[in-house]
Amino acid sequence: MKLGLENFLENHVQEYKGKRIGLVTNMTGVNHDLTPTVDLFHQHPDINLTALFGPEHGLRGDAKEGAKVGDETDPKTGLPVYSLYSETRIPSKEMLNTVDVVFFDLQDIGARYYTFIYTMANVMEACGKYGKEFVVLDRPNPINGVDVEGNLVEEGFTSFVGQYPIPNRHGLTIGELALLFKHEFHIDCDLKVIEMSGWSRGQYFDETDLFWVQPTPNTTTMDMMLLYPGTCLIEGTTLSEGRGTTKPFEFIGAPFIDGSKLSDRINEIGLSSIIARPVSFVPTYQKHMNVRCEGIQLHISNRKELLPYRTGLKVIEAIAELYPKEFQFREMNEEGLDFFNVLTGTDRLKEIILNGKVDTYLEECEIISSTFKNQSKKYHLYS
């Protein structure tokens, strides 16, 4: 297969010769040989790279989740690096003064909460406002482009982890998302997507011939990414989602949990393709830092039958049922918003979980996700 980046360099460079190029990227912007897009652009005789832009975690990916990143000068190229994860998340007119076209080359992981896709939407908006072309160099959806699951963000609950009403597992590549954002959510910009070749919708990332470069510090394994559309919701509770361990979003626990009791309960539920194993762990940062927790690790027996959103909600429901006095939702995030409601995109789910009504709610979500899947097919670039 070939990435959008590689198809651009082979077939489209001359279309942009003489234009000033801005590039939104990080360490995931690489070709098959792991050469960074920054280097490929900066060293190309027909590409005039004039500015760099970094998403959450920064251009080099060394900032923790939620940490604000400042502007800097890239030591290798000498170019300005404008942070899009600070007080400013939308490029200003001044940031775009030295560019005619903005290219976007970041690896998404296929979940609604991932801020890279909203950085893309914000840059699209700024490009439309200030008359700049926007070009997406497409990359695979690592958890495949077929399966869709979850609810839609409701009005009043949009945020930078859910800026538009798309499902928790959206089933689109980042280029397809750009087309969806432009046409469904009315981002008026001059958009072009440089497609991949040789990628099919049913492929998982480890079925390609690409090396995996993790987009963020806690994006560790295929299993983590497959579980993330559901287990990310643990972040909205006082439970540990495994941050500060080697298995983030696969480990779930707390100091008050009996791991054996919880694993027995999860296995009794019979979640599709999930086997729970009792674990003990001590997070090195974030929730319950340096405190021994017990809980479970979620193991995937058949990823093609996995329902991650259902898994995440049913695990939370089970813990709330087993530990009604100890279990709590996190009330506020750093921006003063109800964190669980922001992640779930609704204020309905708390009561649904506490009342043991998740199965009924998931029946609603099946209709919602199926509708989205059919509606989004018009933006599919790959079969």
At residue 116, the pLDDT reads 96
Amino acid (one-letter) located at 262: L
pLDDT at position 20 over 80 = yes
- Could you give the CA distance from residue 174 to residue 170 in angstroms, rounded to a whole number? 10
Count of alpha carbons within 13 angstroms of residue 320, beta-carbon side: 21
Q: Which residue has the higher pLDDT, 15 or 216?
A: 15
Percent of all residues in the chain with a pLDDT value above 70, rounded to a whole number: 99
At residue 337, the pLDDT reads 77
Q: In what order do the strands lie in the sheet with 293-300?
A: 251-254, 293-300, 274-281
Percent of all residues in the chain with a pLDDT value above 90, rounded to a whole number: 92
At residue 331, the pLDDT reads 79
At residue 48, the pLDDT reads 98
Contact in structure between 358 and 314 (CB atoms under 8 Å): yes
Alpha carbon of residue 292 to chain centroid: 29
How is residue 329 annotated by DSSP? B
Q: What is the mean pLDDT of residues 233-260?
A: 98
How is residue 237 annotated by DSSP? B
Instruction: Write 156-161 long-range contacts (CB < 8 A, 24+).
Output: 157/341, 157/342, 157/344, 157/345, 157/346, 157/347, 158/345, 159/335, 159/337, 159/342, 160/89, 160/115, 160/118, 161/112, 161/113, 161/114, 161/115, 161/118, 161/342, 161/343
- Could you give the CA distance from residue 110 to residue 174 in angstroms, rounded to a whole number? 8
Task: Provide the strand spans (E) within 290-361.
Answer: 293-300
Q: What is the mean pLDDT of residues 85-93?
A: 93
Per-residue pLDDT tens digits for 34-71: 999 999 999 999 999 999 999 998 887 777 777 788 88
Contact in structure between 96 and 32 (CB atoms under 8 Å): no
At residue 69, the pLDDT reads 85
pLDDT at position 305 over 90 = yes
At residue 240, the pLDDT reads 98
Contact in structure between 382 and 199 (CB atoms under 8 Å): yes
Q: In what order do the strands lie in the sheet with 72-73?
A: 72-73, 80-83, 48-54, 20-25, 101-105, 133-137, 190-194
At residue 87, the pLDDT reads 86
CA angle 132, 138, 143 (to 5 degrees): 140
Per-residue pLDDT tens digits for 350-370: 999 999 999 999 999 999 999
At residue 70, the pLDDT reads 87
pLDDT at position 21 over 80 = yes
Residue 216: name the closest of 111, 109, 144, 140 by CA. 109
Q: How far is residue 185 from each of residues 169, 207, 345, 346, 361, measured CA to CA in Å?
A: 18, 32, 17, 19, 26
Per-residue pLDDT tens digits for 114-166: 999 999 999 999 999 999 999 999 999 999 999 999 999 999 999 999 999 99
Domains of the chain (ranges; CATH) run: 4-214 (3.40.50.12170), 222-347 (3.90.1150.140)
Contact in structure between 322 and 261 (CB atoms under 8 Å): yes
Q: Across the chain, what does the average pLDDT equal?
A: 96
pLDDT at position 334 over 70 = no
How is residue 80 annotated by DSSP? E
Per-residue pLDDT tens digits for 194-230: 999 999 999 999 999 999 999 998 999 999 999 999 9
Host H or E run for residue 24:
strand 20-25
Task: Give the position of tokens 């040989």.
Answer: 33
Phi-psi region of 363 (alpha: psi -120 to 50; beta: other; left: phi over 0): alpha
At residue 232, the pLDDT reads 98
